[in-house]
Amino acid sequence: MSKTNFDSYLEENLKDPAFAVRFVEAGEAWDIALQLSALREQAGLSQKELAEKLHTSQQNISRLESPSYQGHSLRQLRKVADALHARVHVTLEPLANTDEPLAVREPQEGYDRGRS
């Protein structure tokens, strides 16, 4: 499979450590947003209905489900998880090779980000 222009662009930009960190962080935010949205939909709830269960606003739920939002707190995630009959699972792992930019490191064996 040949590289697309985007693949080449991304490969070049990932050489910049600051870009690489932002790229990984954006992926983590996407993971959280997609998980929250999927759990809410699986529970058959609208954003407004979930907000009512949590005594908050629909706008707050929308923000939590936004891939651009990175202000999630553990307390907040636990409240949402409880309301959706889920649990929060956080894993912190040592980096295997600190000479590589963060975004191009391979995940550790057994690491399945966002699937717990």
Long-range contacts of 42-45 (CB under 8 A, 24+ apart): 42/84, 43/84, 43/85, 45/84
Residue 114 domain-assigned? no
Residue 111 domain-assigned? no
Asked whether 83 and 54 are in contact (CB, 8 A), the reply is yes
CA atoms within 13 A on the CB side of 102: 14
pLDDT 10s per residue in the chain (116 long)? 688 888 888 888 888 888 888 878 778 888 999 999 999 999 999 999 999 999 999 999 999 999 989 899 999 999 999 999 999 998 888 877 766 655 555 444 444 444 43
Q: Which residue range is the domain that position 10 belongs to?
A: 5-104
Residue 10 domain-assigned? yes
Q: Taking the alpha carbons of 47, 53, 59, 62 in that order, is the dihedral positive or negative?
A: negative
Provide the CATH number for the domain around residue 65: 1.10.260.40
